[in-house]
Amino acid sequence: KMLEVAMAVENGADEVDIVLNVGKMLQGAYDEAAAEVEVIRAEMGADVVLKVIIESGALKTPELIRRASLVSMFAGADFVKTSTGKIDIAATPEAAFVMCHAIKDYYAKSGRQVGFKAAGGIRTAEEAALYYTIVKEILGEEWLTPELFRIGASSLANNLLSAIEGEDVKYF
């Protein structure tokens, strides 16, 4: 992972997504999961955005989702992201609620703002609005910028473009 990150940054990447070691989190080896993120963070310049995907659907419990979010942030994540979208349970409003509260608590303790990205399975404007509302209600309007809030949803984008164009669009 370190080599891939170093190569990506060397080739001009200004944002890097990594997946938190879910196996280590499920085993309770939180320090090992954090250490991996810290090493990768050290490979990147401070100007490169690090998004850590926690795979909330694999972690399942609110306690583990919260812990994974905090581990990621304390290890240097600039964003915590719900999912890769590659597993059955991706973004859920419940996980977003827990993750946003963890971000709020981290900010209160550290003074550093960390972004939230909901990704995986968000297909409708109503679903996107729900995540927007969760972020707004928990973190406040100052988080409603591209620097702190994102939705990773190619299906949503295609559905919105199709509605605008009045025909089936598969742009993403």
Query: How far apart, in whole angstroms, are the C-alpha atoms of residue 23 and residue 95?
Result: 18
**Candidates 1, 47, 81, 88; catalytic one:** 81
The position carrying tokens 């399975």 is 121
Can 51 be counted among the known catalytic residues? no
**Candidates 1, 14, 17, 86; catalytic one:** 17
Query: How far apart, in whole angstroms, are the C-alpha atoms of residue 158 and residue 172?
Result: 6
Can 81 be counted among the known catalytic residues? yes
Q: Spell out the alpha helix ranges (H) of the chain.
A: 2-10, 22-27, 30-43, 56-59, 62-74, 93-110, 125-139, 154-165
Query: How far apart, in whole angstroms, are the C-alpha atoms of residue 77 and residue 73?
Result: 5
Give the dihedral of Cα atoms 137, 143, 144, 149; nearest 10 deg: -110
Can 60 be counted among the known catalytic residues? no
3-state secondary structure of 171: coil
**Candidates 31, 47, 117, 136; catalytic one:** 117
Report the catalytic residues. Answer: 17, 81, 117
